[in-house]
């Protein structure tokens, strides 16, 4: 990765949140992201109060296959209900297929929605993903249930989809961390997505690195050229 991204990678390894700005012609949003292994109750509160959107947990295709996780839209399309099939999202208004999978809780949670409960679900998922020598699908069924209060996202290939999910999981891989990232859209007081300028002001105030999606994509392209 390019040296311009080093602060973002360092932040991930230290458990510091960072801001990812996607392309202005896509969602045009800023997300506050954090590696799942550091998602304490305090950090869940930071995500919901300082960002304000939906607190999601993203993983990669390899993990999804091991856990036999489907995309939510595929579940709807395969349903016997004509209503559910009709509701299945093809592509979002900005052109991307959905990354949403199922919603989960850890079995040791109570309601599932508190900062403590969501932190437990998220960190236990990360531990399971990173554990060696176990049947991940069996462990998943043994320790989690659905529906819950933590929405899972499955990253597609960067290039096929260049959303915050793909960008965040790309950074996790580059940082040498498990493929489990927490992300939350940053919202403004005008009932819209937080403007990039305001997101950058908040990031500076809080000591969070900020990186544009284009920088991540360009760095990955450079790595591929260098290894070719």
Q: Is 94 a catalytic residue?
A: yes
Q: Is 143 a catalytic residue?
A: no
Q: Per residue in 136-190, pLDDT tens?
A: 999 999 999 999 999 999 999 887 888 899 999 999 999 999 999 999 999 999 9
Give burial (CB, 10 Å; 0-12/13-18/19+) of 226: exposed
Ordered by start, the domain boundaries in the chain are 3-227
Ramachandran angles phi, psi of 91, nearest 5°: -135, 150
| Cα-Cα end-to-end distance for the chain | 15
Q: Name the active-site residue from 29, 124, 126, 185.
A: 185
Q: Is 23 a catalytic residue?
A: no
Q: Name the active-site residue from 2, 42, 74, 94.
A: 94
DSSP code for 5: G
Q: Beginning with the edge strand found earlier in the chain, give each strand of the sheet holding 100-106 in spatial order.
A: 100-106, 144-154, 56-59, 180-185, 30-35, 18-21, 210-212
Q: Per residue in 113-147, pLDDT tens?
A: 999 999 999 999 999 999 998 899 999 999 999 99
CA dist., res. 148 & res. 17, Å (int) = 24
Average pLDDT, the chain: 91
| Residues in CB range of 79: below 8 A, 6 or more apart | 85
Q: How confident is the model at residue 93, as a pLDDT?
A: 77
Do residues 209 and 30 make contact, with C-beta atoms less than 8 angstroms apart? no
| DSSP secondary structure letters along 133-168 | SS-HHHHHHHHEEEEEEEEEEE---TTT--SHHHHH
Q: Is 71 a catalytic residue?
A: no
Q: Name the active-site residue from 22, 29, 31, 124.
A: 31
**What CATH architecture does domain 3-227 belong to?**
Alpha-Beta Complex (3.90)
């Amino acid at each position: 990765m390019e040296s311009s991204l080093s602060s973002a990678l360092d932040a991930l390894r230290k458990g510091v949140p960072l801001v990812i700005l996607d392309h202005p012609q896509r969602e045009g949003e800023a997300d506050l992201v954090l590696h799942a292994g550091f998602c304490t109750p305090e950090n869940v509160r930071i995500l919901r109060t300082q960002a304000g959107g939906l607190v999601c947990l993203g993983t990669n295709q390899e993990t999804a296959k091991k856990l036999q996780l489907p995309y939510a839209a595929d579940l709807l399309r395969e349903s016997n209900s004509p209503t559910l099939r009709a509701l299945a999202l093809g592509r979002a208004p900005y052109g991307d297929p959905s990354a949403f999978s199922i919603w989960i809780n850890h079995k040791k949670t109570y309601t599932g929605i508190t900062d403590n409960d969501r932190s437990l679900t998220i960190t236990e998922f990360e531990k399971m993903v990173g554990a060696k020598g176990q049947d991940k699908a069996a462990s998943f069924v043994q320790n989690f249930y659905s529906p819950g209060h933590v929405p899972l996202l499955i990253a597609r290939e960067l290039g096929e989809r260049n959303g915050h999910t793909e960008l965040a999981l790309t950074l996790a891989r580059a940082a040498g961390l498990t493929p489990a990232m927490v992300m939350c859209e940053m919202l403004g007081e005008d009932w819209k997505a937080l403007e990039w300028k305001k997101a950058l002001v908040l990031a500076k105030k809080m000591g969070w690195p900020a990186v544009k999606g284009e920088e991540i994509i360009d760095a990955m392209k450079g790595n591929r050229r260098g290894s070719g």
